[in-house]
Every structure is written in C-alpha cells, then in structure tokens.
Amino acid sequence: MRRPDWAPETIDIERPSAARMYDYYLGGSHNFAVDRAAAQAMISVVPESPLIAQANRAFLRRAVRFLVEAGVRQFLDIGSGIPTVGNVHEIAQGLAPESTVVYVDIDPVAVAHSRQILRGNHQAAAVQEDIRRPGRILDHPDVLKLIDFNQPVALMVVGVMHFVPDEDGPAELLDTLRAPLVPGSYLVLSAASGEGRPEQERSDAAEIYRRAGTPLAQRGRAAIAGFFDGYDLVEPGVVWVPEWRPDSPGSGEGAEGAIYIGGVGRLR
C-alpha cells in the first residue's frame, strides 16, 4: 500500500500496531489496512471492543478533570497513543492553561502525530520511548524541561500495563517511575483484564495481539490493584472504568463487560 504523508519512513506499514488498532476502535484515521484487519478480528471475538476503548478513554478524561480540580498542573502520560479529541493537554490546559503535559509512546505514528498537533504549544511535548525503559523516560530532555519533579505530577499509565508481561517486571517499572515523584502526586492507571470473560474469548484475543507483536498480560482486579502499592486510592478505588466517578448517576451501571479495570491513587 502507498505510505501516507503522516507515516514516518521508519515504520513497517505491513505490521499491525496496538496503538493504531486502538485508534481504529476510537474512530480515528491514523491506522493502516493491516491495523484495521487486526482490529476487526478482535471485534469478531469481542464485538463491543470499540465501546470498551471509548469507555477507557472517557475514564482518562474524567481522571484528568479530577486531577486539575485537585490542583495538579503536570501530566506525564506514558503509552499515550494516537491523539484524539479530548486528549490530556486539551482537558488540562482548557481548565488550567498553565498545565504542562508530556506524552510518551513507543509507536512512531503516535509520536509524529502528537508532535504535529502540539506544534506551537510550548507547554506540551511528545517523546518516543518505551515504558520498559523508565530511566530513559525520566531523563529525557523534553520531560525534564516540562516536568518539575519537586512539584506534584500526575503519572498517567492508561491502557498500557496489559502489554507489559510479568517477565518485564511491571511493578518494578512503576516503582522506578514513582521514585522521583513527591507526595501529593498521583497515579492514574487502567489495564485490560480477562476477569469474568470466557476462556475462549481470552485465548482468541491473546492470539490476535500475539500476532500483532504485543502479547497480552490479562490480569485480574487484585493484580491491577497491586500496581497502586504506595498510593492511597481515591474513591471508589480500583473498579471497572465506567464505575470510576461517572459523569451522571447510573451511567456506570452494567460496567462488568468493560474489560478495563482502573483507578487513581495519591502518593503518600
């Protein structure tokens, strides 16, 4: 297929990307035929996949609003994906223009498109890096330029940890990212869970993402809650994402099929 103008020369447009599949679920346009095919395969296994992705993105937006109201003005969004309407900088800077945001993603399309959107925004940046190299994230010049670790920071790890297998030490990675944060900082985290889903569905979904080069680690609620060790959970705790402070009463009902489990924690 012909390479679009927005696709960096360094990427393989014949191999699906989890970030671009997610973009497709959200109705975005920065994906290729191979991504759409993989996403459609996932939809054939879990028909509500687009709604699940939208629920996770809505959780991120509600969490950012909460954090701004709590006084946080710095956001480090790791695994940020391809920007869509209602991204972190739009919400945070819309409510508090002085807010600074750094997006971090491993996918070059996500980073290239983020930089295009952020052109002229001197309080936001996009960095291409891997959560499995947390030291490189924390030491990156763009991170150090915009994030003052002497002040509270919102560490956003939304929809990422299910791509970090146990052998990569996910808890240790989060510990490293937490190390420079001062008390009053926050962790916002969600992850896809296999909890309550049929075994065949879990197996089929895992195979689709394995073929895409991003194997799934489908953890239960207890394991996801463990990522908040060292933080005091904000009510209602670690829940299905539609249940986390829904915008209207009752809008979080029937959330058991949401797949994503998440929460917000405040660093002690």
Give the model's pLDDT for residue 15: 87
Residue 8 has pLDDT above 70, yes or no: no
What span, in angstroms and rounded, lies between the C-alpha atoms of 197 and 256?
A: 10
Q: Provide the pLDDT confidence category of residue 30 given band limits of 50, 70 and 90.
A: confident
What span, in angstroms and rounded, lies between the C-alpha atoms of 22 and 46?
A: 14
What span, in angstroms and rounded, lies between the C-alpha atoms of 59 and 24?
A: 18
Q: Provide the pLDDT confidence category of residue 85 given band limits of 50, 70 and 90.
A: confident
For residue range 144-171, list pLDDT tens digits in order: 999 999 999 999 999 999 999 999 999 9
Give the model's pLDDT for residue 23: 93
What span, in angstroms and rounded, lies between the C-alpha atoms of 253 and 115?
A: 37
Six-digit token pair at 11? Answer: 């990427």
Q: Provide the pLDDT confidence category of residue 76 given band limits of 50, 70 and 90.
A: very high
Task: Give every CB contact of residue 205 below 8 A, 6+ residues apart in sequence.
Answer: 42, 45, 46, 216, 218
Nearest residue to 259 via CA among 214, 198, 187, 188: 198
For residue range 103-139, list pLDDT tens digits in order: 999 998 899 889 989 999 999 999 999 999 999 999 9
Nearest residue to 154 via CA among 78, 96, 221, 224: 78
Give the model's pLDDT for residue 103: 98
pTM over 0.75: yes
Contact call for residues 267 and 185 (beta carbons, < 8 A): yes
Full set of structural domains in the chain with CATH: 54-197+221-267 (3.40.50.150)
Q: Provide the pLDDT confidence category of residue 226 given band limits of 50, 70 and 90.
A: very high
Looking up tokens 């459609």 gives 40
Contact call for residues 103 and 88 (beta carbons, < 8 A): yes
